[in-house]
């Protein structure tokens, strides 16, 4: 059946103060920062417009209906039952992670990351006065896995206080399996390491895969974890600055709540989140089909025409990790090549920490004509070498 949502519809984003588009030169196609070039669901737009009409935008509280929309969404989409009181809103996942680190660590503690990974994690750890312990992912046969023996060794360090897990993993696109998560959870429990599970991309999973919320595996994992979720990636609402943390441990929750940090949804963020989580299922299902076609187009095109660049198959997210090492360029050379020769702005692999050299991250959350144009440019640039 043909989808009634038109993701091919071009949306002019230049001139809207868009980080993605307005920081890019006119002749460059921006495929970097993680937001999509699609309009949010109609119900979300209408809910915001209704509230705009009121004209008074003072301090606001989160309504019962918002909590209910969140808990029902998580239960419906991810089969995870969360209590209302576990939920704490924040203006973003990163402010939430920073706050949690400040609440649970002491200066000099160590926090495990799994590079290549979302760059701001490194800053958050350092800005909390902690040290990064890097449990680098393994890349074999075009696929990433965790180095679990190394994770265990790092977890055993008496100064290790937390792990920041990224699931689905940005940028390598893995959706960690129940088995992998169970092992991670067990290692962390045994070594008293708190798990901060960033699940911001968890609604964006391709059909062959299933997102397992780490905390849903058992009560012990739930009590030892903080889960970060948001409607921002799913429904393209990043500019509304609203995310939430699920903190089952009441002591950690109290510590977080006692910190002088913003702990609210924004007025329009709360309204948008409620509408999205209440009415957004069909839109999201159609989006996932569209992204799946983009993912297949990218993989098929590169394999047939530009085999020097290899796709690491994304299991979730619209961010695709591309292995460009066969082009034989150093980091500077690859960055210049993509921007100046191919005319596309992608994230450079090295910025995600060790293991990222020679890779790029491409955002395919865009109408297909944009993706096709970018692939044509990339192919021409590679063939001109």
Ligand X SMILES: Cc1ncc(COP(=O)(O)O)c(C=O)c1O
Contacts with ligand X, residue ranges (CB under 6 A):
34, 92-94, 118, 166, 170, 198, 200, 230, 232, 238, 243
End-to-end CA distance of the chain: 43
CB of 291 to ligand X, least distance (A): 15
Residue (346 or 382) nearer to ligand X, CB: 346
- The C-alpha angle with vertex 63 and arms to 61 and 69, in degrees rounded to 5, equals 135
CB of 92 to ligand X, least distance (A): 3
Residue (200 or 287) nearer to ligand X, CB: 200
Could you tell me the CA-to-CA distances from 370 to 356, 364, 365 in Å, in that order?
26, 9, 10
Angstrom distance (rounded) from CA 71 to CA 36: 25
CB of 4 to ligand X, least distance (A): 28
Tokens 């509280």 -> residue = 61
Residue (70 or 93) nearer to ligand X, CB: 93
**Cβ-contact 276, 235 below 8 angstroms:** yes
- The C-alpha angle with vertex 262 and arms to 256 and 264, in degrees rounded to 5, equals 95
Residue (41 or 173) nearer to ligand X, CB: 173
CB of 167 to ligand X, least distance (A): 9
CB of 381 to ligand X, least distance (A): 26
Could you tell me the CA-to-CA distances from 351 to 130, 311, 370 in Å, in that order?
20, 18, 25
φ, ψ at 355 (rounded to 5°) = 95, -5
- The C-alpha angle with vertex 139 and arms to 136 and 143, in degrees rounded to 5, equals 125
Could you tell me the CA-to-CA distances from 307 to 294, 324, 327, 338 in Å, in that order?
17, 10, 10, 16
Angstrom distance (rounded) from CA 31 to CA 48: 27
CB of 297 to ligand X, least distance (A): 23
CB of 318 to ligand X, least distance (A): 11
Q: Which residue is nearest to ligand X (CB)?
A: 92
- H helices present in 130-261, as ranges: 148-156, 178-190, 219-223, 232-235, 250-257
């Amino acid at each position: 059946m043909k989808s009634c949502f038109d993701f091919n519809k071009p949306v002019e984003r230049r001139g809207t103060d868009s980080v993605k588009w307005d920081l890019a030169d006119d002749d460059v196609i921006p495929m970097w920062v993680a937001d999509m070039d699609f309009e949010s669901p109609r119900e979300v737009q209408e809910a915001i417009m209704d509230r705009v009409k009121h004209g008074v935008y003072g301090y606001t509280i989160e309504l019962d209906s918002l909590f209910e929309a969140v808990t029902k969404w998580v239960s419906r989409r991810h089969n995870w039952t969360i209590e209302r009181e576990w939920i704490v809103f924040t203006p973003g996942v990163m402010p939430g992670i920073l706050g949690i680190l400040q609440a649970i660590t002491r200066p000099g503690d160590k926090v495990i990351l799994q590079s290549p990974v979302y760059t701001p994690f490194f800053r958050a750890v350092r800005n909390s006065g902690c040290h990064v312990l890097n449990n680098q992912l393994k890349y074999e046969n075009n696929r990433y896995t965790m180095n679990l023996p190394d994770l265990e060794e790092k977890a055993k360090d008496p100064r290790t206080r937390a792990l920041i897990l990224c699931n689905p993993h940005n940028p390598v696109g893995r959706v960690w399996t129940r088995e992998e998560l169970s092992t991670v959870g067990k290692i962390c429990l045994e070594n008293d390491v708190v798990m901060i599970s960033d699940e911001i991309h968890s609604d964006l999973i391709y059909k062959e895969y299933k997102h397992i919320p780490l905390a849903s595996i058992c009560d012990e994992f739930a009590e030892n974890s903080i889960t970060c979720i948001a409607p921002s990636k799913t429904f393209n609402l990043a500019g509304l600055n609203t995310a939430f943390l699920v903190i089952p441990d009441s002591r950690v929750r109290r510590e977080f709540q006692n910190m002088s940090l913003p702990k609210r949804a924004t007025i329009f963020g709360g309204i948008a989140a409620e509408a999205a989580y209440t009415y957004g299922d069909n839109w999201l299902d159609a989006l996932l089909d569209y992204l799946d076609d983009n993912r297949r187009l990218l993989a098929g095109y590169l394999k047939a025409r530009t085999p020097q660049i290899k796709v690491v198959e994304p299991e979730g997210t619209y961010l695709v990790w591309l292995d460009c090492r066969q082009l034989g360029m150093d980091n500077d050379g690859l960055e210049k090549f993509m921007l100046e020769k191919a005319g596309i702005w992608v994230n450079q692999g090295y910025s995600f920490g060790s293991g990222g050299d020679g890779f790029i991250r491409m955002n395919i959350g865009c109408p297909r004509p944009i993706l096709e144009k970018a692939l044509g440019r990339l192919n021409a640039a590679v063939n001109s070498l």
